[in-house]
A and B are shown apart, each in its own frame.
Chain A
Amino acid sequence: MTVTERQQRAYVDAQAADMRVAVELETDEGMTLNLGPQHPATHGTLRVIARLDGEQVVWADISPGYMHRGYEKLCEVRTYPQVTTLVNRIDWLGSFANEVPFILASEQLMGIEAPPRARYIRTILFEMARVANIVLFLGDLGVQLGAVTPAFYAFRDREHVLDQIESVTGGRFHPNFDRIGGLKDDLPKGWIADTKAVMQRMRMFCDEIEDLLFGNEIFEARTRGVGVIPADVALSYGLSGANARGSGIDWDLRRDTDVGLAHNEVDWRVWTHPDGDSFARCWVRLQETREATKIIDQLCDGLPGGPIMAKVPRIIKVPEGEAYVATENPLGEMGYYIISKGDIGPFRVKIRSASFSNVSVLPWLLRGVYVPDIITILASLYFILGDIDR
């Protein structure tokens, strides 16, 4: 054997051992196709192993973990303020939203309530993270299906949201702005007026996308009836967020729980869709983005004055206890289960990330679909690799 042949054999063996799945190149029962880890359609390094019969999937398996950074272990050696920086990077497109449940859980254990102004601004930034995240999803949706143009509009308009986030927090992608007891800084002058203009612009973008993409017959033909998840399956797999609401489950943590954000003080509605197919999920997200812009507008209008930070000791020691707080993040339900022993850092943090549960339904869902439908389903379930792999 030449060197290259030996190397190739070794590589194939390593891959097989890796997955405990024999990676056959040709068999009689069908072809094994590897989507990933590097692939344009998996938002990051997700590996989908599909056994195909022609163009139809016989079975599929998902191999996540190419981006596993060991968040839960890392959180155990950090102090509470340091965890905020770390946790930004789980869902990196809507990163402020990752900090919020952790901060709220710590505040719950400490018995501290953030002042109303901080609560409002926290909610505004939370919803802006949602807008930034889902706008990119809408652009990316087009690209996955072949329409390359909406992606550019999405990125162009998303820049305005990121500009607003940057002018408050200093960071476009990783704000690292939430603190136990409040926020780091107050809003700059003129921010509220600018934000309302940006939100108006995002509403126009949503209308544009609805026209361009959702009104397109080809889009409807590609997404309607594809990847139907019945409601009971969705619940048993732990699907949350727009994936659950797209299957008709009327559940939104912003409305149904009171964790310390200001959603109860504004007027908004929850969108559901009974179909449970890819179109339903995408449509629900579009409506949610519009709704988020309205929430931000109302919050900006009713912003109370006052301090931005409650009185917290300089060295934060959270008293002993356990708390779980989950919020309706852009991707779904994200929660932190903090076990504290009265130390300056948490004893154990269990991060419940939305995409982990969302993606776990894929082996069940991908049986019997066509290869192009795999892409549609991956696009409509919308996960972020950092969220799956933590």
Chain B
Amino acid sequence: MSTLTTLAADIELAWWQQTTLRSLGVMIAVLIPAGTLVYVFLFKMMSFMQSRLGPMEAGPYGSLQLLAEVGKFIQKEDIIPWRADRKLFAFAPYVVIASVFMIYLVVPFGPDAYFVDFDTGIFWALAVSSVSVIGILIAGWSSANKYSLLGGLRAAGQLIAYELPMVLAVVGVVIQAGTLNMQGIVAAQAEGEIFGFGGIGNPFVLTQGIGFLIFLIAMQAELTQTPFDMPIAESELVSGYMTEYSGLRFLLFFIGEFASAGAFAAVAATLFLGGWAIPGVDLDADWMNVVGPLVLVAKMMLVAFLVFWVRFTYPRFREDQLQQLAWKILIPLSLVNILATMALKVAF
């Protein structure tokens, strides 16, 4: 956060104090969306869709349920299976969580409200999102459980397969924006024009509609949500790669799942819906540092709503059908999308 940095420089905070503040800031920035997503979508929206109320006891309308669950998980016994590889078993959840945190680093919340502003922001985001695959594989292998192994292997295949459509969908966005920088992409959408009409800017969801859909589907698969939840597959593999995890480690996976849903939703909102900017508002205004995060969170909730809505409705694909969808349908489609974007970009 650059304003905070300048502020901190004025107050003469030591470097370690600044780092602590920044780390706390990242934790809050990551955990609050995760908690909100869990409450709104998992506890309430899912329940309402299933014609029931959901948690109502802990706090008003069950809002503190997640807090209660966190407390419950933290105080549980630390169980590691007898034959499991202890070090790897303990290590896996942290890999997944680390990958999620790293995605949040490059998401801009406002003109000056960001953690890091890489020139290759979106490239970084896509790269580190693949780190969680390693974590899942480690979890599946080290659990010494055949169900976990099956889940981990399925996850490896699926997550790697769906990286490609995601990347290719983003390529279309990058071509249109002309930059890999996340702030640059936000600016391109806010100040761009659709065939000469500049009233609402150029939110890429309109001009890159196919890319948006591909990105959503690939995102669903990257999050291992139904209909792509073969790695978890609750009715077959009990919990897939998470079967043997309990207590704090399971909590890390659980929070990681929703935090990464938030992270991907934020990235999608930035890439396609315009990020923290509102069309017609000055991009450098200082008060956008306060309003921007709210706008981004609203757009993030919208994307997350789509993700979870599909999750609670559809049955799941079989592994080979999943792969067929990725390789035979999504990748060719995204390549066509790139060609079309290039052609139109050059022509106009």
* Interface residues of A, Cβ cutoff 8 Å to B: 4, 8, 31, 33-34, 39-41, 55, 142-149, 152-153, 156, 212-213, 216, 218-219, 221-222, 370-375
Contact = CB atoms under 8 A, between A and B. Distances in A.
Contact of B315 (A33, A41, A213): A213
A373 B51 CA distance: 30
Given A4-B82, A143-B235, A375-B236, A222 B317 contact: yes
Contacts of A212: 313
A8 B81 CA distance: 12
Given A144-B235, A152-B52, A375-B236, A370 B314 contact: no
Contacts of A149: 49-50, 312-313
Given A31-B146, A375-B235, A375-B236, A145 B313 contact: no
Contacts of A41: 235-236
A98 B318 CA distance: 36
B235 A216 contact: no
* Those 5 A-B pairs whose CB atoms lie nearest each other, nearest first: A146-B316, A145-B315, A152-B50, A147-B315, A146-B315
B317 A221 contact: yes
Interface stretch (B1-9, B57-65, B223-231): B223-231
B234 interface: yes
B236 A372 contact: yes
Given A33-B146, A41-B236, A149-B49, A372 B230 contact: yes
A55 B319 contact: yes
A156 B314 CA distance: 19
A229 B61 CA distance: 50
A152 B314 contact: no
Given A146-B235, A153-B50, 4 more contacts: A148-B312, A222-B316, A372-B236, A372-B316
A156 B82 CA distance: 42
Contact of B50 (A145, A148, A218): A148
Q: Is the interface of A mostly helix, strand, loop or mixed?
A: helix
Contacts of A40: 234-236, 238
Most buried by B among A212, A221, A372, A374: A372
A300 B238 CA distance: 44
A153 B150 contact: no
Nearest to B236: A375
A372 B315 CA distance: 12
A27 to B, nearest CB: 12
A80 B67 CA distance: 57
A267 B314 CA distance: 36
B315 A216 contact: yes
B193 interface: no
B187 interface: no
B133 interface: no
B227 A218 contact: yes
B314 A371 contact: no
Contacts of B312: 148-149
Contacts of B313: 147, 149, 212
B321 interface: yes
A55 B230 CA distance: 12
B252 interface: no
Contacts of B82: 4, 8
B150 A146 contact: no
B318 A373 contact: yes
Given A55-B150, A213-B315, A146 B227 contact: yes
Give the interface centre of A8, A31, A55, A212 by most chain B CB atoms within 10 Å: A55
B320 interface: yes
B233 interface: yes
A40 B233 CA distance: 10
B146, B235, B313, B319 — which one has the most chain A CB atoms within 10 A of its CB?
B235
Contacts of B316: 145-147, 218, 222, 372
Contacts of B236: 40-41, 371-372, 374-375
Contact of A146 (B49, B51, B229): B229
B319 A372 contact: yes
A227 to B, nearest CB: 13
Contacts of B238: 39-40
A34 B146 CA distance: 9
A129 B226 CA distance: 33
Contacts of A373: 318
A146 B314 contact: yes
Contacts of B146: 31, 33-34
27 contacts: A8-B82, A40-B234, A40-B238, A55-B150, A142-B315, A144-B235, A145-B235, A145-B315, A145-B316, A146-B226, A146-B227, A146-B316, A147-B226, A147-B313, A149-B49, A149-B313, A152-B50, A153-B51, A212-B313, A216-B315, A218-B314, A218-B315, A218-B317, A221-B318, A222-B316, A370-B319, A372-B318
B235 A222 contact: no
A144 B233 CA distance: 9
